Amino acid sequence: MSKLIFVFLALIPLLCTSFSPDRPSDRRVLVLVDDFAVKSSHSLFFNSLKSRGFDLHFHLADDPKIALQRYGQYLYDALILFSPTIERFGGSVDAAAILDFVDSGHDLIVAADSNASDLIREIATECGVDFDEDPAAMVVDHSGYAVSATEGDHTLIASDDFIKSDVILGSKKIEAPVLFHGIGHSLNPTNSLVLKALSASPSAFSANPKSKLTSPPSLTGSSISLVSVIQARNNARILISGSLSMFSNRFFRSGVQKAGSPTKHEKSGNEQFFTELSKWVFHERGHLKAVNVQHHKVGEANEPSIYRINDNLEYSVEVYEWSGTSWEPYVADDVQVQFYMMSPYVLKTLSTDGKGRYFTSFKVPDVYGVFQFKVEYEKLGYTSLSLSKQIPVRPFRHNEYERFIPAAYPYYGAAFSMMAGFFIFTVVHLYHKCVTFLNPAFGGFLWAMF
Amino acid sequence: MAASDAQNGVSSIRHAFGNVLAFFILLLIGVLAFSIRLFSVIKYESVIHEFDPYFNYRVTQFLTKNGIYDFWNWFDDRTWYPLGRVIGGTVYPGLTLTAGTLWWILNSLNIPLSVETVCVFTAPIFSAFASWATYLLTKEVKGAGAGLTAAVLLAMVPSYISRSVAGSYDNEAVAIFALIFTFYLYIKTLNTGSLFYATLNSIAYFYMVCSWGGYTFIINLIPMHVLLCIVTGRYSSRLYIAYAPLVVLGTLLASLVPVVGFNAVMTSEHFASFLVFIIIHVVALVYYIKGVLSPKMFKVAVALVVSVGLMLCYGGSTYSIGSIKPNKGMEWKKFKSVRSFLTSLLCDSTYASKYIPIIASVSEHQPPTWPSYFMDINVLAFLVPAGIIVRLMLVLAPAACILSGIALSQAFDVFTRSIKLQLPSLSDHSQVDAGVASPESVVPNDSVKMDKSEDTSKERTSKKSKKKEKEPVEKPLSKSQIKKRLLVLPLETSVIAIILLVLLGAFYVVHSVWAAAEAYSAPSIVLTSHSHDGLHVFDDFREAYAWLSHNTEVDDKVASWWDYGYQTTAMANRTVIVDNNTWNNTHIATVGTAMSSPEKAAWEIFHSLDVKYVLVVFGGLVGYPSDDINKFLWMVRIGGGVFPHIKEPDYLRDGQYRIDSMGTPTMLNCLMYKLSYYRFVETDGKAFDRVRRTEIGKKYFKLTHFEEVFTTHHWMVRIYKLKPPKNRIRGKTKKSKSKTSSKPASKRKGLKRNPF
Amino acid sequence: MARSSSKDAQDLFRALWSAYAATPTNLKIIDLYVIFAVFTAAIQVVYMALVGSFPFNSFLSGVLSCVGTAVLAVCLRIQVNKENKEFKDLAPERAFADFVLCNLVLHLVIMNFLG
């Protein structure tokens, strides 16, 4: 897999790589660190990014020269904040600037740590992640800790409670648990945008390991999230981790044995976990696009500007997924289209031909109005597709109703017989008028009284 | 008055002269009727007024562009989003077709007028036609003099002017003409008994049905007249010829108009005509049999029919005694239907307002106050005895004009005659001579002319013989004049009365011109106000519509209160959610509910309707009283009528509607309040509302779900955009956190400051 | 009583009949025409009662064409009747021309409304 990517990389010229709808993967990444030691201590992670073609720019977080945008253009496609203790960024960067960066569709990786600054916490909160308010608190797990040489305070946790999504974590199962050392956070369960990528075990809790537990910890059990991912409504992706050391070479390389588990893994799952996760965050996976929406009447090829009630129509759309190198057909059996006017009148599951084309046909309901073809596709880990196309539906024209109804034949007959009668009457009347003129005395005298 | 004299006059010259005079007077009346309605164009510009006409204008544009067939089948997807509107089946096409035809004729004559110009001037042109139709009608009833008087009065009656000034492009503009013309043809048919006029009559009726829903007046008034004639024993076969073909042909033609369709036979408004149709047949049969049989036999026939009828009735009643309860229900239903019929006919506004707030919210449906009655009919009110709704006023106006036209011309007749008869008595001539004087003075004139004309004709008679012929004619005439002299009023009285009448007429003219110039000519889309530093023009509406058409996407939907719907679609070419066509109460109630809900709920309602922009009209800065805040209670009522969680008392403090600091929290938090008064405090620092004459209750607030995108120069129209849903969902708000984070910052600042 | 009334009725019908027999032929033709129209209308109403009023416009136009024809014929009859003094100055030719015009309009409308 990585070789393939490498081959692909060689093909890509380095500078032509800004984020575009055609190539959704990020290219230019700004990495802000507390000190440059991180660059070497986390080199494995950075190298894996570099090897996938990312152009990393390292800066100290308080470097006065850093800027996210110049002349209204963003200089980077993604941002990695490996500076958990920073109180204020240098240059023009602040929390609002970073959030604007995300809101304009760019990706973000944030690593906090046990002494995370308010700034980092604020950014996380804005994204829907609430770190434990106690600044000294860490996630402690007395049963799910990683077995190590020194019997510590069980803040080094081995967790294997991953999110169940092939899209986010790749199709290859992560065998080894992931090592974690840092602070936990909680998510609002009603928040539909944020997902726990890695959660703590039920026995975990968040507290200051140095002091004695006086009151029940505010965060406990599997509600603690260790690593979360967020997909914003504009499909910008964010990764927030409670631990910076997770990304470090030391954690990537070290072996791991979960307490109570007989198997000892030579290598922790961290590398695989973050490689796959970064692929997702940087849009190398799970990014869908829908193109070529077509609809027309059955038996016709051209798209009409208006439908008539009870028309039969065909609808098709093509959906592709970005594989990191090219757009591949997306295959699923749960894409649905709605024919919508205030509420869906028709809801149909689209069938696919396996080459990315989805299609169906249905009958326009017997209601006129301004309808919409709506495809609202939101699947865990995938970017959401929201297509809507407005199309009016008109009633029958005046000449489109049934013309000659058998039940009405007597009426037609009557009307035509009246017409025929009129002609005959005209003839007869004119003829008889001559007769009466010839014979005026014929008129009845009784009428005089009328 | 010359014309009326002419008709009474004996000589044909005078008659011809009178005809020419009458023709020129009519021409002048037409010019008067046309030009009195041009004040709005002169004072403002050639622009279409009000709200409804904008829809008609749009339809006309479509008609001229796409032709009649597309118009007939037009499904308009821009109004009433997302329901759409079948234009062909829901409009009275008369007006549009008329203006379209006018435009087409002008264009094929190579007179390139814009559709808008044609639309603006349709109403004045048709008011000229209407006054001519009034002349014809009154002439048919009472003679040319009364006709001319009535035509003058109609040309100037303020209530008609109010509906037909240049730019008021509404159904009534052509419908009044059609109404009067239909009645004229009916009377004409009645007088001549010709099927030809009956056909014309039903075609005129068809035009009326095309033009206006008020055609029910005709189809109820004519049967009433027929019934009255039958009851008073004035049935004649001409009545049958005038009425029966009208019902059959009229009903058929009316059901050809899509908007009426089967209603022409299915709804209660039309039943009266069918009932009378049956009655007139029975009566005709009875008269026929009466004519055929000898009186004795006829009596027998009556006895037979009555006894058979009684037996049938008896059988029927004994049968129905068994089933009295369902019958009662039937009766009740009948009563109800009769009541609803009466309601629809007389538009009993209290009944309507009780049940359908939306009807009551339209000021047209409210009972007019006596001042407005006086304002609209003015002097004519003295001549016609009458309380009715505003729209009925319009129908009343022609009747009032005709009646007072007749009254006036009769009065003039009487007074002038008495003057004419008494003036000679002041000289030394004998009474008889004086009596003959006026006709005689004409005779020489007459004969001279006659000579000329008789040159061509071969029957040449001497003057003497002619005089002899004339004398017997004159004698009965003078006799009748002697008779009339008994009715003659004293000279002084009649002179004073004429002066009074002239004064009355002058007063009427002055009032009408004033009303046309001042009261009814404001186009309501452009406003002016006079103040100490001159004239102010408020053109905010068009400013806003232009903004919409230039700055929003073609498919964007705009929500506003329904008053502005037609204008928005016509002028900004944007889809609106509700407009002035009020057939769907629920849809309007949805918008009303959104306006009276707090921001978030309103946002959800609008979002579900795909609304992008919300438009509110706000008059608080310039004192424009008919703004949305003043209409707001109607929104609450209409919204509450369908969605019961909106309750009117929530918006009232002790039954009073107020927006100052005493206003209820519901009121001060509803969307309409917020959109109207957003940033209002920035204008004068006090947020003083000039319409409500108070400081507003809540001055400083932010909008969370809406953002202001445009406010016009005088703040009369404000346009807001719905904010998109948030890109991210925020976590728990941690106020303590943000405070602690801001505290260190300030501390640090303090530290930095300390060294200095 | 009953007998006398029945006798009266008989007299009545006889008188009616004799009166009618004296009617000019052209009026009789018109009467025949009217009866034909009314009869057609009645048949249609019966048919509608049996079948239901689905193509309502067709029914309406069918019945109204008959009624209209009948009404117009009655109007014509009134106008051409020589004994009717109200229409002395109206020439029968003119009356008939009006009648034809009226009928043309009627049938045009009927054709429009039938389908």
Round to whole Å and give the CA distance between B491 and B416.
10
Q: pLDDT (tens digit, 9 = 90+) per residue, A3-14?
A: 444 444 444 443
Round to whole Å and give the CA distance between C13 and B297.
9
**B77–A192: do the CB atoms touch at under 8 Å?**
no
The answer on pLDDT for B483 being more than 80 is no
The interface predicted TM-score (ipTM) is 0.90
Q: pLDDT (tens digit, 9 = 90+) per residue, B515-543?
A: 788 777 777 777 777 777 777 788 888 89
CA B386 centroid distance within chain: 18
Query: Subunits touching B (CB < 8 Å, at least 3 pairs)?
Result: A, C
Question: Minimal CA–CA distance to B617: which of B525, B521, B681?
Answer: B525
Question: Minimal CA–CA distance to A80: which of A310, A247, A329?
Answer: A247
Q: Is A139:A243 a contact under the CB 8 Å cutoff?
A: no
Which has more confidence, B677 or B142?
Answer: B677
pLDDT, position B685: 81
d(CA B81, nearest CA chain C) in Å:
31
| Residue to test with chain B: of A190, A370, A401, A446, most B Cβ within 10 A | A370
Question: Which of B53-57, B351-355, B523-527, B557-561 bottoms out in mean pLDDT, i.e. has the lowest?
Answer: B351-355
The full DSSP string for A383-410 is PPEEEEEEEEEE---TTSS----GGGHH
Mean pLDDT, residues A294-299 taken together: 90
Question: What phi and psi, each to the nearest 5 degrees, are found at residue A394?
Answer: -105, 160
d(CA C30, nearest CA chain A) in Å:
8
Mean pLDDT, residues A278-294 taken together: 89
pLDDT, position B291: 78
**Could you tell me the CATH number of the domain that includes residue B651?**
3.40.50.12610
pLDDT, position A323: 83
Mean pLDDT, residues B219-247 taken together: 89
**C114–A412: do the CB atoms touch at under 8 Å?**
yes
CA A169 centroid distance within chain: 16
B493 within domain boundaries: no
**A418–C73: do the CB atoms touch at under 8 Å?**
no
**A128–B77: do the CB atoms touch at under 8 Å?**
no
Cβ of C33 under 8 Å from any chain A Cβ?
yes
Contacts of B256 in chain C (CB under 8 A): 109, 112-113
pLDDT, position A12: 41
**C115–A436: do the CB atoms touch at under 8 Å?**
no
Which has more confidence, B127 or C82?
Answer: B127
Nearest CA in chain A to B741: A118
Q: Using CB atoms, which residue from A87, A124, A446 is nearest to B292? A: A446
**A404–C115: do the CB atoms touch at under 8 Å?**
yes
pLDDT band at C110 (very low <50, low <70, confident <90, very high): confident
CB proximity list for B138: less than 8 A, separation 6 or greater: B146, B147, B149, B150, B151, B402, B405, B406
Q: Using CB atoms, which residue from A188, A232, A398 is nearest to B72? A: A398
- Most confident range (mean pLDDT) of A184-188, B481-485, C11-15 is A184-188
Round to whole Å and give the CA distance between B226 and B236.
10
Helix axes B271-292, B215-231, angle to 10 degrees: 30
Q: Is A196:A180 a contact under the CB 8 Å cutoff?
A: no
CB proximity list for B263: less than 8 A, separation 6 or greater: B255, B270
**B84–A99: do the CB atoms touch at under 8 Å?**
no
Q: What percent of chain C has pLDDT over 90?
A: 14
**A410–C103: do the CB atoms touch at under 8 Å?**
no
Nearest CA in chain B to A194: B729
**A405–C58: do the CB atoms touch at under 8 Å?**
yes
CB proximity list for B236: less than 8 A, separation 6 or greater: B193, C86
Question: Minimal CA–CA distance to B439: which of B417, B461, B459, B462?
Answer: B417
pLDDT band at A151 (very low <50, low <70, confident <90, very high): low
Q: Using CB atoms, which residue from C19, C61, C78 is nearest to B241? A: C78
On the CB side of B267, how many CA atoms lie within 13 Å of its CA?
17
CB proximity list for B696: less than 8 A, separation 6 or greater: B620, B659, B660, B677, B680, B681, B687, B688, B689
**B256–C112: do the CB atoms touch at under 8 Å?**
yes
Mean pLDDT, residues B711-720 taken together: 91
pLDDT, position B136: 92
- Whether the link from the prior residue into A304 is cis, omega within 30° of 0, is no
Cβ of B319 under 8 Å from any chain C Cβ?
no
pLDDT, position B437: 36
**A233–B726: do the CB atoms touch at under 8 Å?**
yes
**A447–C23: do the CB atoms touch at under 8 Å?**
yes
Q: What percent of chain B has pLDDT over 90?
A: 19
pLDDT band at B470 (very low <50, low <70, confident <90, very high): very low
Round to whole Å and give the CA distance between A272 and A170.
9
Mean pLDDT, residues A308-315 taken together: 90
At position B644, the amino acid (one-letter code) is P
Round to whole Å and give the CA distance between B602 and B622.
27
Report helix, strand or coil for B749: helix
For chain B, report the end-to-end CA distance as a whole number of angstroms.
102
pLDDT, position B497: 84
The answer on pLDDT for B324 being more than 90 is no
The answer on pLDDT for B126 being more than 90 is yes
Round to whole Å and give the CA distance between C86 and C72.
17
B599 within domain boundaries: yes
Q: Using CB atoms, which residue from B195, B265, B289 is nearest to C75? A: B195
pLDDT, position B435: 37
Cβ of B302 under 8 Å from any chain C Cβ?
no
d(CA C72, nearest CA chain A) in Å:
11
- Most confident range (mean pLDDT) of A2-16, B138-152, B286-300, C85-99 is B138-152
> Given its phi and psi angles, is residue A192 left (phi above 0), alpha (psi -120 to 50 degrees) or beta?
alpha
Mean pLDDT of all residues in chain B? 76
The answer on pLDDT for B352 being more than 50 is no
Contacts of B193 in chain C (CB under 8 A): 79, 86-87, 90
Give residue for tokens 């036209």: B405
Query: Subunits touching A (CB < 8 Å, at least 3 pairs)?
Result: B, C
Cβ of C51 under 8 Å from any chain A Cβ?
yes
Cβ of B82 under 8 Å from any chain A Cβ?
yes
Alpha-carbon separation of residue A287 from A166, A293, A316, A329, B753 (angstroms) = 13, 18, 20, 12, 51
Contacts of A194 in chain B (CB under 8 A): 729
Contacts of A129 in chain B (CB under 8 A): 731
Mean pLDDT, residues B70-77 taken together: 85
Q: pLDDT (tens digit, 9 = 90+) per residue, B675-693?
A: 999 988 888 888 888 888 8
CA angle A126, A132, A135 (to 5 degrees): 105
pLDDT, position A315: 92
Helix axes B585-596, B628-642, angle to 10 degrees: 120
Nearest CA in chain C to B255: C113
pLDDT, position A15: 35
Q: pLDDT (tens digit, 9 = 90+) per residue, B432-444?
A: 333 333 333 333 3
Cβ of C53 under 8 Å from any chain A Cβ?
no
| Residue to test with chain C: of A397, A398, A422, most C Cβ within 10 A | A422
Contacts of B203 in chain C (CB under 8 A): 105
Q: Is B672:B595 a contact under the CB 8 Å cutoff?
A: yes
Mean pLDDT, residues B592-605 taken together: 91
The answer on pLDDT for B359 being more than 70 is no
- Most confident range (mean pLDDT) of A350-364, B252-266, B477-491 is A350-364
Q: Is A271:A44 a contact under the CB 8 Å cutoff?
A: yes
The answer on pLDDT for B508 being more than 80 is yes
Q: pLDDT (tens digit, 9 = 90+) per residue, C17-72?
A: 887 887 777 788 888 889 999 999 999 999 888 887 778 888 888 888 999 999 99
**A390–B555: do the CB atoms touch at under 8 Å?**
yes
pLDDT, position A445: 36
Considering its fold, how many domains does chain B have in total?
Answer: 1
pLDDT, position A317: 92
pLDDT, position B73: 86
pLDDT band at A22 (very low <50, low <70, confident <90, very high): low
**B252–C113: do the CB atoms touch at under 8 Å?**
yes
d(CA A133, nearest CA chain B) in Å:
8
The answer on pLDDT for B631 being more than 70 is yes
Q: Using CB atoms, which residue from C33, C54, C110 is nearest to A407? A: C54
Mean pLDDT of all residues in chain A? 83
Report helix, strand or coil for B299: helix
pLDDT, position B465: 38
- Most confident range (mean pLDDT) of B18-22, B180-184, B385-389, C88-92 is B180-184
pLDDT, position C51: 84
Round to whole Å and give the CA distance between A277 and A268.
15
Q: Is B539 exposed, middle or buried (0-12, 13-18, 19+ CB in 10 A)?
A: middle
Share in percent of chain B as helix, strand, coil (round to 5): 70, 5, 25
Cβ of C36 under 8 Å from any chain A Cβ?
yes
H-helix or E-strand spanning residue B606: helix B599-608
CA angle B155, B161, B163 (to 5 degrees): 130
pLDDT, position B377: 52
pLDDT band at B721 (very low <50, low <70, confident <90, very high): very high
pLDDT, position A155: 82
Q: Using CB atoms, which residue from B238, B255, B293 is nearest to C19? A: B293
**A425–C33: do the CB atoms touch at under 8 Å?**
yes
Mean pLDDT, residues B26-33 taken together: 92
Cβ of B292 under 8 Å from any chain C Cβ?
yes
Helix axes C56-80, B237-256, angle to 10 degrees: 160
pLDDT band at B208 (very low <50, low <70, confident <90, very high): very high
Cβ of B200 under 8 Å from any chain C Cβ?
no
CA angle A270, A274, A280 (to 5 degrees): 155
